[in-house]
Amino acid sequence: MLRTLTHPSERNPDPSVSVLSRTVSGIVALDKPEGRTSFSIVNEIKRLFDFRKVGHCGTLDPFATGLFLICLNRATRIADQLLELDKVYRFGVRFGLESDTLDRTGRLASVYEGPPFSEGDLQRSLDRFRGVCEQQVPRYAAVKVRGRRLYALSRKGIEIELPRRNVNIYRIKLLSYDWPDAGIEVNCSKGTYVRQLAADIGRDLGCGAYVTELRRLTVGAFSIDRALSFEEFKNAMPTCYWQGTIMSMNDALAHLPSVSIDPGMTLKRLLDGNLDPALEMNLRERFSRQTTPVRLVAALNNELIALWWPHGVGEKQHRLRVFGSDITDNSHPL
């Protein structure tokens, strides 16, 4: 889930970095290190760079590593769209054991004493999990239930009925197997818990299992191959290099359809939060069957100005989400 932090009392000692960090919006792809919580990384980036807002697009457990998308300033308002993207994970599984957290950081809950299964048995089990299935949310998860984090309730010993949700396993591939350990790669929909998937596979085989390592490789078109290490990003702070690591909001949402908005009164009205009637009529005709939002992009500089929903979004069915512009009014020839 997206976390947005209010502006801290501390100020970055370098005024040039501070000025830039208050005006630049976009997405940074980091390779999250093991042992750090998602919140601590967001908090440190916020403090070091003096950004107005910092958020992330999907929590990774402290023991997990891999692709971690950071939203800066206005980009925190597109995090919900990035959370919708499919993901690829590579993970290790140890069979014959179960833990209360479904991973190696938890306490052992049961031990299997039977014989090992064959690679063929494992492959057939993986095949059974392909497609749409109902998955139980793990007891130690960050999802909120009754207004509180599920893991917080679990740590206090509060019993609660665990939510269930439909997820889609598009592809699941066995990379290696040497009892009791296996390496697996999965391409899955949003909301899939890999820890729960591993536990379900272990129970399907009758021996139990937990995750020993977990690495996120992709989020939509974002890939770990182009991610910076957390240390690389921090070391770029005293220079202007860090600006080149930021993907624009428009590029980050390139999977959504777009409409180019020419300079003039239409763009000016849009920046003021109003949609030109002629433009909206055109959008309704072109995207009547579209289920995702449409990008409204300034032709002048290819900047994402707004998102427009063909059928509304939220309880009040809002159709328009305006982001404004990183360019000042004086330099923007409307």
pLDDT digits (tens, 9 = 90+) for 242-267: 677 889 999 999 999 999 988 777 78
Confirm if 258 and 251 have CB atoms less than 8 A apart.
no
Confirm if 72 and 27 have CB atoms less than 8 A apart.
yes
Q: What is the pLDDT of residue 269?
A: 84
Annotated active-site residue 100? The verdict is no
Q: Which residue has the higher pLDDT, 327 or 109?
A: 109
Q: What is the pLDDT of residue 141?
A: 62
Tell me if domain 15-84+223-248 and domain 87-219 are identical in fold: yes
CATH, domain range 87-219: 3.30.2350.10
β strands within 189-255, DSSP E: 209-219, 222-223, 228-229
Give the confidence band of 150 by pLDDT, cuts at 50, 70, 90. Answer: low
CA 185 to mean position of chain CA atoms: 18
Region for residue 273 given its phi and psi (left: phi exceeds 0; alpha: psi -120 to 50; beta: otherwise) = left
Q: Which segment, 25-39, 226-240, 276-290, is predicted with the most confidence on average?
A: 25-39
Q: What is the DSSP letter of 247?
A: B
Q: What is the pLDDT of residue 324?
A: 79
Task: Tell me the per-residue pLDDT of 154-199, one tens digit each, with 9 for 90 and over.
Answer: 565 666 666 788 999 999 999 999 999 999 999 999 999 999 999 9
CA 154 to each of CA 136, 141, 144: distance values in angstroms, whole numbers, following the listed order: 15, 9, 12
Q: What is the pLDDT of residue 13?
A: 42
Peptide bond into 180 cis (omega under 30): yes
Question: Is it the case that residue 302 has pLDDT exceeding 80?
Answer: yes
Confirm if 151 and 140 have CB atoms less than 8 A apart.
yes
> Which tokens hold the place of 50?
């003096």
Q: Which residue has the higher pLDDT, 49 or 303?
A: 303
CATH, domain range 15-84+223-248: 3.30.2350.10
Segment 105-130 shows an average pLDDT of 95
Q: Considering 31, 50, 61, 103, which one is annotated as catalytic?
A: 61
Domain boundaries, the chain: 15-84+223-248, 87-219, 256-331
Does pTM surpass 0.75?
Answer: yes
**Cα-based torsion angle of the residue sequence 282, 288, 294, 297 in order, rounded to the nearest 10 degrees:** -10
Q: What is the pLDDT of residue 330?
A: 36
Pick the range with the lowest mean pLDDT from 143-157, 204-218, 249-263, 272-286.
143-157
